[in-house]
Structure 1
Amino acid sequence: MAKSRLDRMPSNDLNEMKEIDLLELFRAVLKYIRLIIVLCIVFGAGGFLGTKFLIEPTYTASTSIYLTPQINDTGSLDYSSQMANGLLVTNVVNLLTQNNVMSEVAKDVGLENADAVKKFVNVTNKQDTQIVTVTATTGDPKLSKNIANGTVTTFINTMQKNLNVRNIEIVDKAKLSYVPSGPSIKKNTMMATLVGGVIGVGYAVLKFLLDNRLRTKEEAEKYLGIPVFAEFPEV
């Protein structure tokens, strides 16, 4: 099994050779700098073209609902109502994607079933608030808008009908946008370029580590442990 130049050196020379090998490693990488640049360009171009022409764009629409606190007789906010809304928020996040809500939305937007809608919907709650945001991401901007708005509308109607909960209001309805939310061409191009660079540098490092030749008089002296009295010049 071939050993690297460091493995062949006596232990008392390892520290010195480590410093020398780092310089040699840097030179070895520089020797393949053209290959590294070409790989970066090729992979970067592949990432750009692949993202632009092969990956379908996605469109995102968001809407928010707010759990409004009650007003007491003095005209101020009811503190107990605020506390109750704070506890209710977690339940609202979970209830928004229940099958009864998702099934109704699926019928309205023309999807097969509740599961088909769920995979497009994401529900979040901003910390320390009673605001819940419903986000829908699909390959069709109109479908994203309809899913987001349909989810909150169906949920509010369900809560009013079944639980007599009437303090949920829509803060901001989802709007139609033809600007893609993903994928990011810039991000994918940079990542592909980085992959190309890593492959190029890795190839240079691997070639260096697998090269077991003694190239200089100093390397021969350290490996053999005896002085070298003559060497043939490179022709």
Structure 2
Amino acid sequence: MEDLQKSIEQNEEIEIDLGRLLRQLRKKLSFIIAVTVIAIIISLLVTKFLIPKKYESMARIYLKPNITESGTIDYNTLTANSKMVNNYVLMLQGNSLLEDVTEKLKLEDETLVKKSLSVSNEADSEIITVSARTENAKLSKDIVNTTVNLFFVSMKDKLDIKNMTILDAPQVNETPVSPSLKMNLLIGALLGIMVSCGFVTVQFLLDKRLHTKEDAESYLEIPVLAEIPFLED
């Protein structure tokens, strides 16, 4: 019975502490808002002036099925294309092709091409997407264009494959795809709220002063007989 009573008293104490903490957070609302605004401004400045902008260019390759003499699609080649598409994706990412692209564009290192280039196959299709993302819009376009052209030449010369066509040619896209201003501002706001609320909470937990009559009675375990009001000038 005594253990139950102690548990109830502890729970009541925790509830009182949480209530005081919430009141303290409301009291410091202007501080929390100020810190959040500062964090948003910092995120804005970092995004605008410190984080490099990235530009993306993209091309889509389509593996055409053969057309029979009667004008219908040869489903044998359609099935073969579906099976070969993953092999083509791997070939587009091969070191040999990337070295040729680097040499063609007169770049210092193929690492730039390897890091910027992305090749994927759209699900259940014979379409291959080749994209590049760099800090230069024209370079992104040149990497994609050169990669696709050299790949076509290689497939034609080495494997006599001629059923590839470009659905979407790469373009110079002057609109950066990263960083995301909205996302960074949201992250900045959340960090501002977390830091300011965390600071207020730690400050509250470290404050060992007695603020109310109830605090004094709980700490001293004796009743308060009188209170002296505090008058501000």
Indicate the TM-score class for this superposition, using the shorter chain for normalisation: 0.7 to 0.9
Question: 1:222 and 1:76, CA in 2 relative to 1: closer, same or farther beyond 3 A?
Answer: farther
Letter in structure 1 aligned against 2:166: I
Task: Tell me which residue corresponds to 1:161.
Answer: 157
Counterpart among 85, 88, 95 of residue 91 in structure 2: 95
Q: CA deviation at 1:58?
A: 1.6
Is the contact made by 1:13 and 1:222 (CA closer than 8 Å) also made in structure 2?
no
Task: Tell me which residue corresponds to 1:66.
Answer: 62
2:177 aligned counterpart, secondary structure: coil
- Equivalent runs, 1:1-235 vs 2, <5 Å: 10-223=6-219, 227-235=223-231
TM-score normalized by structure 2? 0.88
The C-alpha deviation readout for 1:123-168, integer Å capped at 9, x for no partner, is 1221111111111111111111110111111111111111122222
1:57 aligned counterpart, secondary structure: coil
The C-alpha deviation readout for 1:182-212, integer Å capped at 9, x for no partner, is 2122322222222122111110111112223
Q: CA deviation at 1:226?
A: 5.1
% identity of equivalent residues: 39
Deviates more, 1:56-65 or 1:205-214: 205-214
TM-score normalized by structure 1? 0.87
1:11 aligned counterpart, secondary structure: helix
Letter in structure 1 aligned against 2:159: L
Is the contact made by 1:43 and 1:196 (CA closer than 8 Å) also made in structure 2?
yes
Is the contact made by 1:36 and 1:197 (CA closer than 8 Å) also made in structure 2?
yes
Q: Which runs of 5+ in 1 are unaligned?
A: 1-9
Is the contact made by 1:48 and 1:186 (CA closer than 8 Å) also made in structure 2?
no
Deviates more, 1:77-86 or 1:202-211: 77-86
Deviates more, 1:46-55 or 1:59-68: 46-55
1:119 aligned counterpart, secondary structure: helix
* Count of aligned pairs between the two proteins: 227
Question: 1:215 and 1:155, CA in 2 relative to 1: closer, same or farther beyond 3 A?
Answer: same
2:103 aligned counterpart, secondary structure: helix
